[in-house]
């Protein structure tokens, strides 16, 4: 057993001289917003996920909100989504006055269970926001079929899944509108930022207007065709994104290797649940390494031991419907989504990034074994 403490953070971006060089280039150009780096980032990002159109925005949350606006989500509507996600995938519906409806998850993948989604549909349902949680692709075909059958909009929250593959093609290439995010714990970062990818030219044009205060294509600076937002990304961030895409393959390979090492190191811990493995149709892009503690283990004391030894950890993920503001607004409580609630009590994220050293991983897993007892 390794002893002592180390400082091992939960995540770390991979930035180097290339991003520095690109940022300096933008600064020297004097054009910091609405410049050429945004188009370039969008084109390269669209190519990376196999979608025809991309619109860069200020965050993943902004992208999800805009797709709800495009879908015409409004007061009186319901939007079905996953309780086991980051709050933004539910909040985007609330911003437009709709009510989030939580369908339960599949216990293996932790993504929305398509049967639960279908069972949650009512005459008020307007859209489904699926989430590719922890980078594992959701059941795109089934969800697209359900959406088509009931004339609903499907939005894929792929904020954690850049680089994932579904049925041998990049996630994003299946015809769905999808949102991607670049906070520094993500596969690539722009500091803050996001992209919406779409297969509709009309949606793409609308997104570009909505993110830019509703200005119309070709109109003047003070001509506003619709109610819009300032959800623009700037050229500095877009240039960082270009630098990040250049090393995307290396980042993804590093993350895959680190995940495989955790899986090997933890394979023999009794009762410990490890992230589900890929199958023929689903290939994960590693976002975080989330374990499920053995039944009966006290998660809070495990967290204390890890933290005392400098190992970063997080309770990924609390159920969205059990957050205090959700309970207060909608009266949600325990029992609404039993599978998500059960998973949520026992899951825990370990330090994870593309360049995590093997000896740090050994320290993390030794400490974890000791903490579980």
Ligand X SMILES: Cc1ncc(COP(=O)(O)O)c(C=O)c1O
Which residues lie near ligand X (CB under 6 A)?
59-61, 85-86, 88-89, 131, 157, 159-160, 181, 183, 194
Nearest to ligand X of 138, 212 (CB atom): 138
180 SS3 class: strand
> For this structure, is 186 an active site residue?
yes
Q: Are 80 and 101 in contact (CB under 8 A)?
A: yes
Q: How far is the CB of 79 from ligand X (least distance, A)?
A: 14
**Strand intervals (E) in 136-249:** 153-157, 165-166, 169-170, 177-181, 194-198
Q: Which is nearer to ligand X, 159 or 356 (CB)?
A: 159
H/E element holding 80? strand 78-81
Residues 136/159, Cβ–Cβ less than 8 Å: no
- Are 97 and 242 a contacting pair, CB within 8 Å? no
* CA neighbor of 292 nearest in space, from 85, 107, 83, 106: 107
The residues facing 292 across adjacent strands are 273, 347
Distance CA 208, CA 218 (A): 12
Q: Least CB distance from residue 337 to ligand X, whole Å?
A: 16
Q: Which of 126, 167, 186, 205 is catalytic?
A: 186
CB-nearer residue toward ligand X: 57 or 147: 57
Least Å distance between CB 88 and ligand X?
4
Least distance CB 64 / ligand X (angstroms): 6
Task: List the one residue out of 35, 63, 69, 317 whose CA is nearest residue 172.
Answer: 63
Nearer to ligand X by C-beta: 61 or 138? 61
Query: Which residue's beta carbon is nearest to the bound ligand X?
Result: 60
Residue 189 or 313: which CB sits closer to ligand X?
A: 189
**Minimum gap (Å) between residue 128 Cβ and ligand X:** 14
Q: Which two tokens stand for residue 196?
A: 């919406």
Catalytic residues: 186
């Amino acid at each position: 057993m390794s002893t002592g403490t180390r400082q091992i953070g939960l995540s770390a971006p991979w930035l180097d001289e290339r991003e520095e060089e690109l940022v300096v280039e933008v600064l020297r150009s004097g054009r910091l917003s609405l410049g050429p780096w945004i188009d370039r980032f969008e084109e390269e990002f669209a190519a990376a996920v196999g979608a025809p159109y991309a619109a860069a925005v200020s965050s993943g949350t902004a992208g999800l909100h805009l797709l709800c606006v495009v879908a015409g989500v409004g007061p009186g509507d319901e939007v079905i989504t996953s309780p086991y996600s980051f709050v933004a995938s539910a909040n985007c519906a609330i911003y437009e006055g709709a009510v989030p409806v939580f369908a339960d998850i599949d216990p293996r993948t932790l993504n929305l269970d398509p049967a639960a989604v279908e069972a949650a549909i009512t005459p008020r349902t307007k859209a489904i926001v699926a989430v590719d949680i922890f980078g594992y692709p959701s059941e795109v075909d089934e969800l697209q079929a359900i959406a088509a059958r009931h004339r609903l909009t499907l939005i894929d929250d792929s904020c954690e899944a850049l680089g994932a593959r579904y049925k041998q093609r990049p996630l994003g290439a299946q015809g769905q509108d999808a949102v991607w995010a670049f906070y520094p714990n993500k596969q690539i970062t722009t500091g803050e930022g996001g992209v919406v990818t779409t297969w509709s030219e009309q949606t793409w044009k609308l997104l570009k207007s909505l993110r830019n205060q509703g200005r119309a294509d070709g109109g003047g600076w003070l001509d506003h065709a619709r109610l819009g937002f300032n959800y623009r990304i700037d050229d500095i961030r877009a240039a960082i994104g270009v630098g990040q895409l250049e090393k995307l393959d290396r980042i993804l390979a590093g993350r895959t290797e680190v995940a495989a090492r955790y899986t090997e190191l933890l394979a023999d811990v009794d009762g410990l649940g490890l992230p589900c493995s890929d199958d023929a149709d689903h290939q994960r892009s590693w976002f975080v390494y989330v374990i499920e503690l053995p039944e009966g283990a006290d998660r809070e004391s495990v967290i204390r031991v890890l933290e005392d030894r400098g190992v970063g950890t997080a309770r990924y993920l609390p159920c969205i419907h059990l957050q205090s503001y959700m309970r207060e607004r909608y009266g949600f409580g325990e029992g609404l989504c039993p599978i998500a609630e059960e998973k949520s009590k026992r899951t825990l994220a370990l330090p994870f990034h593309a360049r995590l050293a093997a000896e740090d991983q050994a320290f993390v897993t030794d400490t974890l074994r000791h903490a579980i007892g």
